[in-house]
Amino acid sequence: MPIIKSAKKKMLQDRKRTEHNKILKDNLRGLIKNTRRKPSMENLSEAASALDKAVKTKLIHKNTASRLKSRLAKLTSSSK
């Protein structure tokens, strides 16, 4: 446990941010799974938008988002 006041505050901030990021990542995973299960343009655009927002907030790396969007787009185009 931290002793210094600023370290205590930092620990609380980290805990709060971790919980928030976990919720966001879980939602993102759900969108990706939904797109994989039911490939459609609507699901793809929703997932791509969420991935872009995750990159913007530095939740995931931009190359990871790019790779996922590419794979989802390939699935969607092949299901037509």
Domain spans of the chain? 28-80
pLDDT band at 78 (very low <50, low <70, confident <90, very high): confident
> Are the beta carbons of 70 and 78 closer than 8 angstroms?
no
pLDDT per position as a tens digit, 11-51 = 999 999 999 999 999 999 999 999 999 999 999 999 999 99
Burial of 73 (C-beta count, 10 Å sphere; 0-12/13-18/19+)? middle
Instruction: Give the tokens for residue 75.
Output: 């699935």
**pTM summary value:** 0.86
Q: CA nearest 54: which of 35, 77, 30?
A: 30
pLDDT at residue number 53: 97
